[in-house]
Amino acid sequence: MNKQLRVLFIGTYIPKECGIATFTSDLLNSVSGENNDVHCEVIALSDPSETYNYPEEVVFQIQRDKLEDYYLAADFINQSDADLVCLQHEFGLFGGNAGDYIFALLSGINKPVITTMHTMIREPEPEYRTSTEQLIKYSEKLVVMSQAAVEMLKDVYKAPENKIEIIFHGVPDYPFNNCSKYKKMLNLKGSPLVLTFGLLSQNKGIESVLEALPEVISQYPDLVYLVLGATHPMVKKTQGEVYRHYLEDKVSELGLENNVVFHDKFVEKEELCNYILASDIYVSPYLSREQIVSGALTYAMGMGKAIVSTPYWYAQEMLSDNRGLLVDFGDTDGFKNSLLYLIENPDECNGMRKKAYDFGRKMTWKNVGKEYNTVFIKALKNYNTYPGIHNRFNFLPNQLPEVKLDHLELLTDDVGIIQHTDLGVPARRYGYSTDDVGRALVALTQLIDSPKKAEEFRKSITTYMSFLEHAQTDTGHFHNFMNYKREFLDKKGSEDTLGRAIYGLGHVVSCSYLSKNIRTLANTLLSKSRQEMENLGSPRAKAYAICGLYEMLTTGVDTDEFESVFNSRRDFVKSIDTLVDRDKFESIFISHADSLVDLYEANHKEDWNWFEPTVTYSNAKLSESLLLAYNYTKNRTYREIGLATLDFLTEIQLNGDFFDTVGNQGWYSYNGEKPLFDQQPIEAGYLTQAYVSAYENVRDRKYIQLAKYSFEYFLGRNRLRTAMYDYSTGAVCDGLSSDGMNCNQGAEPVICFLMALNSLKEHTNEAFGTILQSRVSDGISDEALEKQKNLLSVQVE
């Protein structure tokens, strides 16, 4: 390697009291090497109730059951200078079903992963099989600690053989010696001293040893059985000290009070090693056969102890060739006979100890560290790095989806649009909203490019217009919510509701393929709402109004056309005063644009180019409205602020290669932390529209590329890498939450998807042609191409 290798470990870590925490620490120290030729850092897992003073190598923490932390950790890893990740895996370390929260992290990173598997199940339940298969998929290399684990990975889980590496559990390197020195050091008695150590839980099987002791002690009354270790924290949390009390009662029942000692404490590594070195015999009475590795057994072997163990998988392999004695699970007589054999045959016992010690030399941490480094380098050489953004999302289509209106039509009845669904089935209890109807008019009118299309959508547009006409109040505002009994539930909707209605009505007025009657009605409703429109205070309501008025003002409305309709419908309108008054609407249009400029000037800072102190919802619509205001007025201030705020939204939401839109769990305030969830698809839809407007404004190709990326949010270019859009029905899921995809498919997401699709389809060639191809045809220089890459903050091909 020409540079220092940088490794990021993921696992529990000291000072947490658990075996994997100790293992991770030992492995890190062994990998870093005597000359510090490998730089190591740690992402530590903890429980919410735990607070640790971690050493400086811990650079990030994950709360076990907090899914958001796994996503944030993935972001941290991608932005770090780590070359690779070394994951310590045991199902119980991670939250979720069978520890599946870890895949939120693994699926989102662009570094090779080397996984050390501390647990494996030969006959797994479905969720554990799935979790293991996912782990194999995301790992460049799988490190196991026994040949039995290798065979199980291949036979049970069909793991590719070239992914599997066997590296033994590490042990400290101590000389082969007798026990008396360490007994004196620790003031321990026992001739012999029999030891079992590790965090206490019911699977330890210690009662089997206790029941074997009376006959052994009757012959060797100086024998002491030391049970060393605190109760496992998770066991203590859920069951308390039930097992320890059971063992203590068993000792009293068997009259072993003078021969059995419990040391209820977690000992650090150096002290633990002294206890092991002080013992004569190590006993490993585990009750579960499916134990693929045991650090305690490994330490006992590496320090040359005489060992008696049950035949779990790891013990069978490690103690073969007469390196220890095996006793069947729960076999009291077997433990008794094995202990007596070792005590009464010192030469055979010492020979067994020497074989275990000699085998342990290949397991010293120094050798283990070298082997891991070899695997790291091998993984880096073989790793298929992601040279471009497209490779991480290679499931995305190379063209836009066809327009599919099935789901919108399913939600539309003879009244309006049902707001929400239960798993795609319209949920009538939620009723209707003006918000959805106004934006649906935008989506449909954008699709009308011929009289045939106008006729195709005539029924739906007529229904929507009928809803808005009924929803408009005497003052010109609009009710928003109507229940399924056709009763409005509010005196009037929010200002945003008024803005969204104007947004839709403006598009109807501007659609020349629609009938004169429909367009005249739209104009009438707009005119009636003019006074309410003038008094808007909400920035988003103003933005919606600007977008709707822009359509009306740039259409070149024929007032004679409307007048002829009005004259024939005196029963419908009271006077000719409701005709389009371009000057008054233009005044409102400019006034609202100016107020957004004032809002920006009052709130933006050097590192905060936004209209408000908080980024909330429907954000890109604010930027888009100023870009449209520039189109109409040619006021450069509008364009300057529109682009600056849109670029700011890109900066805070484009997460390397996908859009991480601001979630509504608290929004994103200046100097605050951006929430990841709940993300709403409306934000991606509005971003797409705004980027298309920016591209049409300044013809900078980066905006059409960004429009493509934001639109692909619906198709899977998102944090969960999951498609929200259903190609078969045209439905769109409601959002991304910390629990995954919200699979309800309401009106808002499908309407915003259609608006985004409509705006982008006019620029299909620009969006789906690569920047490199465009450079050739347009003569863009290498320097300019590199600048575009930087602006996108991603590597594009």
What is 542-582 written as a DSSP string? Answer: HHHHHHHHHHHHTT---HHHHHHHHHTTTTT-S-GGGS--H
Span of 461-470, 522-531, 736-745 with lowest mean pLDDT: 736-745
pLDDT at 728 over 80: yes
pLDDT > 70 fraction of the chain, expressed in percent and rounded = 91
How many other CB atoms are found less than 10 A from the CB of residue 466?
Answer: 15
Q: 550, 628 in Cβ contact below 8 A?
A: yes
Tokens standing for 585? 């609407």
Q: What is the pLDDT of residue 732?
A: 96
Tokens, residue 573? 């309108």
Per-residue pLDDT at 506: 97
Confidence category of residue 769, pLDDT binned at 50, 70, 90: low
Collapsed DSSP state (helix, strand, coil) of residue 325: strand
Check if 5-170+369-385 and 180-362 are the same fold.
yes
Q: Closest Cα partner for 266 from 549, 19, 532, 620? A: 19
Structure tokens at 454: 């106008």
- Rg of the chain in Å (alpha carbons): 35
Compute the Cα dihedral for 580, 582, 584, 587 and give only its sign: positive
Amino acid occupying residue 764: T
Alpha carbon distance 408, 747 (integer Å): 7
CA 576 to mean position of chain CA atoms: 58
- Tell me how far apart the alpha carbons of residues 427 and 738 are, in angstroms, rounded to a whole number: 24
Instruction: Please give the DSSP secondary-structure letter assigned to residue 328.
Output: -
**Structure confidence at residue 196 (pLDDT):** 95
Closest C-alpha among 664, 760, 781 to residue 715: 760
What is the per-residue pLDDT for 569? 45
DSSP 218-275: HH-TT-EEEEE-PBPHHHHHHHTTHHHHHHHHHHHHHT-TTTEEEE-SPPPHHHHHHH
- Work out the mean pLDDT of the chain and round it to a whole number: 89
Label residue 556 by pLDDT band (50, 70, 90): low
pTM greater than 0.85:
no
Q: Could you give the CA distance from residue 419 to residue 355 in angstroms, rounded to a whole number?
A: 74
Q: How many CB atoms lie within 10 A of CB 426?
A: 20
Q: Does residue 564 have a pLDDT over 80?
A: no
**Neighbour count for residue 451 (Cβ, 10 Å):** 11
Beta pairing, strands 614-615 & 668-669: antiparallel
- pLDDT, residue 391, reads 46
Mean pLDDT within 563-568: 48
State yes or no: pLDDT of 380 exceeds 80.
Answer: yes
**Angle, alpha carbons 128-129-133 (nearest 5°):** 115
pLDDT at 571 over 70: no
pLDDT band (50, 70, 90) for residue 34: low
Q: Sorting pLDDT into bands at 50, 70 and 90, what band is 561?
A: low
Sign of CA dihedral 348, 354, 355, 360: positive
| Angstrom distances, CA of residue 768 to CA of 688, 785, 786 | 14, 17, 19
pLDDT at 776: 32
Q: What is the DSSP letter of 398?
A: S
Closest CA relative to residue 635, chosen from 697, 692, 691, 548: 697
Tell me the pLDDT band of 398, cut-offs 50, 70 and 90.
confident
How confident is residue 107, by pLDDT bands cut at 50, 70 and 90?
A: confident
Instruction: List the one residue out of 659, 635, 454 whose CA is nearest residue 546.
Output: 635
Whether residue 627 contacts residue 693, with contact meaning beta carbons closer than 8 Å, is answered with yes
What's the pLDDT at 572? 41
Cβ within 8 Å of residue 194, ≥6 positions away: 209, 223, 224, 225, 226, 279, 280, 281, 282, 283, 339
DSSP state of 615: E
Of residues 264 and 382, the one with the higher pLDDT is 264
The pLDDT tens digits of the residues spanning 133-171 come to 999 999 999 999 999 999 999 999 999 999 999 999 999
Looking at residue 384, its pLDDT comes to 57
> How far is Cα 113 from Cα 116, in angstroms, rounded to an integer?
10
Residue 787 is predicted with a pLDDT of 39
Question: Cα(82)–Cα(76) distance, rounded to whole angstroms?
Answer: 10
Does residue 773 carry a pLDDT above 80? Answer: no
* Cα dihedral sign, 336-338-342-345: positive
CATH fold of the domain at 5-170+369-385? Rossmann fold (3.40.50)
End-to-end CA distance of the chain: 28
Q: What span, in angstroms and rounded, lies between the C-alpha atoms of 344 and 346?
A: 6
Distance between CA atoms of residues 13 and 20, nearest Å: 7
The string of DSSP codes covering 59-109 is EEEEETT-HHHHHHHHHHHHHS--SEEEEEE-GGGS-SGGGTTHHHHHTT-
Residue spans per domain, the chain:
5-170+369-385, 180-362, 409-415+604-797, 422-596
| 314-368 residue pLDDT tens | 999 999 999 999 999 999 999 999 999 999 999 999 999 999 999 999 999 999 9
Between 115-129, 131-145, 575-589, the lowest mean confidence (pLDDT) is in 575-589
Q: In this predicted structure, what is the pLDDT of residue 392?
A: 59
CA 638 to CA 289: how far, in whole Å?
A: 72
Superfamily of domain 180-362: Glycogen Phosphorylase B; (3.40.50.2000)
| Token pair listed for 441 | 């008019």
**28: Cβ–Cβ under 8 A, 6 or more apart, which residues?**
9, 40, 42, 57
Q: Is 692 helix (H, G, I), strand (E, B) or coil?
A: helix
Task: Determine the Cα–Cα distance for residues 43 and 73; give it in Å rounded to an integer.
Answer: 8
Rounded to an integer, the average pLDDT of 664-691 is: 92
Handedness of CA 176, 179, 184, 187 (dihedral sign): positive
CA distance 303 to 182: 13
Residue 412 DSSP one-character state:
B
Rounded Cα distance, 226 and 280, in Å: 11
In the predicted structure, residue 260 carries a pLDDT above the cut 50: yes
Residue 61: beta bridge partners?
A: 44
Please check the confidence at residue 574 and state whether its pLDDT lies above 70.
Answer: no
pLDDT for position 35: 58
What pLDDT is stored for residue 199 in this prediction?
A: 85
Q: Assess whether pLDDT exceeds 50 at residue 635.
A: yes
Highest-confidence segment of 33-42, 261-270, 433-442, 670-679: 433-442
